[in-house]
Amino acid sequence: MTDGSPLVRVRDLRKYYGDGDSLLDRLLGRDAGSVKAVDGVSFDIDRGETLGLVGESGCGKSTTGETLLRLREATAGDVEFDGERVLGMDDAELKAFRRRAQIVFQDPFSSLDPRMTIGEILAEPLRIHGLPEDTGDGRSKAEYRRDRAKELLDRVGLSADQIDRYPHEFSGGQRQRIGIARALALEPDFIVLDEPVSALDVSVQAQVLNLLDDLQEEFGLTYLFIAHDLSVVRHICDRVAVMYLGNVVELGPTDDLFDDPQHPYTRALLESVPRAKLTEQGRRVEALAGDVPSPRNPPSGCRFRTRCPLVIPPAGIDVDQRTYREVMDLRERVEAADLNLAAIWDAVGDPDGSDKPAFKRHLREEFFADDLDGENENAVERALDALAEGDRDRAAETLRARFESVCETTRPVLQEREHPAACHLYDQPVESREGDEAEARVD
């Protein structure tokens, strides 16, 4: 089929690990609830295209790649490959699909069986698939496979006479070439490249990227290229999807995305890419603050809001972003019952809890760099009063009443356009997408 339809279509793909009540979870007293590693991901990959999938470690990139190949079973969603529904395939259909869709893993050291020779490693996919059915030229099947392995070695820039060596005899870059050769063995149409150069030296990275580029051209391959580093995808990808905590937050043609990043997360990722050019060296490099929150209990609304430098205050409220962040951090600590009031009383040297002004001063010093004013100040003062009286609920409610953001109440979605971003700074449809609504709402 070459009718212009995408080769790969992913719709609302979800993968939740565990149901939170395994024996181990219970023994360790972990909170119930699953790890929402992939939580409603949609994209297309056109034939011959390279789609990049980028985001910090733990955002769900590998899970997305492995789930769409059905190396892991999806929790929900749809994957179509060349018009066929992958998630509904039976064993025979799956086997046929596996010939056409392959994966290359990040770690060339652990992804090759150390007990097998390179020839055996490269012949294995053929053997598993019962190939060749018939050599047709008097060669035995084993001979055919060995010749094919030599051909593959040659094609990925290794020498055919290395065929009887073992993985440990090769360098990282060479092993990754072997991993690529193994992925090519069945002449696939589509390869998920899961951080294929992340474990390699920079000098070797470029060579492997060039090889992938050449192979794509020669065999008309379609790639999903996973990376945590935006600088790697710039030259190899046609389009890029940026992933954060189980969601795609921005998707667009590579140049558009680099020249005009929309989502604050994409901007932060770009800012943290080291600048090579002299003219750009003076530029402020603002690394992303903090860690990715746990996908077991992701933030409501926009998942990036807990780290976002552009959270949107309610209409009519005048507050600078830093102060707003400080107020939200305070509320979050209060709501998560993560603020030990007794410890604060201890710290102010008043374990009996009578010197409320000292208690409030302590909290202000801990949370706020500058003085607040007007209604903002009033709301914070009332919240601190409530905390001094031990009433967390009232403190949280007071802060929420004045400062609650659309970013926490409503999950932003990707709009239908060439370069969408799931962010409330941009147009959002009036209705949330089906299935997102219940989760996006805050109780």
CA distance 256 to 252: 6
Closest CB to Mg ion among residues 62, 398: 62
* Torsion angles phi and psi, residue 244, rounded to 5: -140, 120
388 binds, among ligand ADP, Mg ion, none (CB under 5 to 8 A by kind): none
CA distance 193 to 227: 9
Spell out the alpha helix ranges (H) of 50-117. Answer: 61-68, 91-100
x/- track of binding to Mg ion for residues 147-166 (CB under 5 A): --------------------
Closest CB to ligand ADP among residues 156, 269: 269
x/- track of binding to ligand ADP for residues 38-77 (CB under 6 A): -----------------x-xxxxxxx--------------
x/- track of binding to ligand ADP for residues 11-30 (CB under 6 A): ------xx------------
109 binds, among Mg ion, ligand ADP, none (CB under 5 to 8 A by kind): none
| 208 CB neighbour count, 10 Å cutoff | 24
Closest CB to ligand ADP among residues 59, 399: 59
Closest CB to Mg ion among residues 62, 405: 62
Residue whose tokens read 């001094």 = 388
| 189 CB neighbour count, 10 Å cutoff | 18
Please list, in sequence order, all residues whose beta carbon lies within 8 angstroms of the beta carbon of residue 273, skipping any fewer than 6 positions away.
229, 230, 231
Residue from 35, 118, 232, 423 binding ligand ADP (CB under 6 A): 35
Please list, in sequence order, all residues whose beta carbon lies within 8 angstroms of the beta carbon of residue 326, skipping any fewer than 6 positions away.
367, 368, 369
* Torsion angles phi and psi, residue 27, rounded to 5: -65, -40
Residue nearest Mg ion, Cβ-based:
62
CA distance 132 to 144: 8
Sign of CA dihedral 373, 376, 378, 380: negative
Closest CB to Mg ion among residues 105, 265: 105
Closest CB to Mg ion among residues 63, 323: 63
Q: How many residues bind ligand ADP (CB under 6 A)?
A: 13
CA distance 344 to 353: 9
- Helices H / strands E in the chain, number of each: 17, 10
222 binds Mg ion (CB under 5 A): no
Closest CB to Mg ion among residues 228, 411: 228
Distance, first Cα to last Cα, the chain: 47
Pair of tokens at residue 202: 């920079």
Query: Nearest distance from residue 62's CB to Mg ion, in Å?
Result: 3
Closest CB to Mg ion among residues 67, 398: 67
Please give the distance of CA 81 from its chain centroid, rounded to a whole number.
Answer: 21
x/- track of binding to Mg ion for residues 47-66 (CB under 5 A): ---------------x----
CA distance 214 to 229: 22
Residue from 173, 252, 295, 298 binding ligand ADP (CB under 6 A): 295
Closest CB to ligand ADP among residues 194, 408: 194
- For residue 148, what are the CA distances in angstroms to 151, 170, 175, 212, 383? 5, 20, 18, 19, 72
Query: Nearest distance from residue 10's CB to ligand ADP, in Å?
Result: 14
Using CB under 5 A, which residues numbered 285 to 314 contact Mg ion?
none
176 binds ligand ADP (CB under 6 A): no
Q: How many residues bind Mg ion (CB under 5 A)?
A: 1
Query: Nearest distance from residue 79's CB to Mg ion, in Å?
Result: 18
405 binds ligand ADP (CB under 6 A): no
Query: Nearest distance from residue 100's CB to ligand ADP, in Å?
Result: 23
Which residues lie near Mg ion (CB under 5 A)? 62
Which residues lie near ligand ADP (CB under 6 A)? 17-18, 35, 37, 55, 57-63, 295
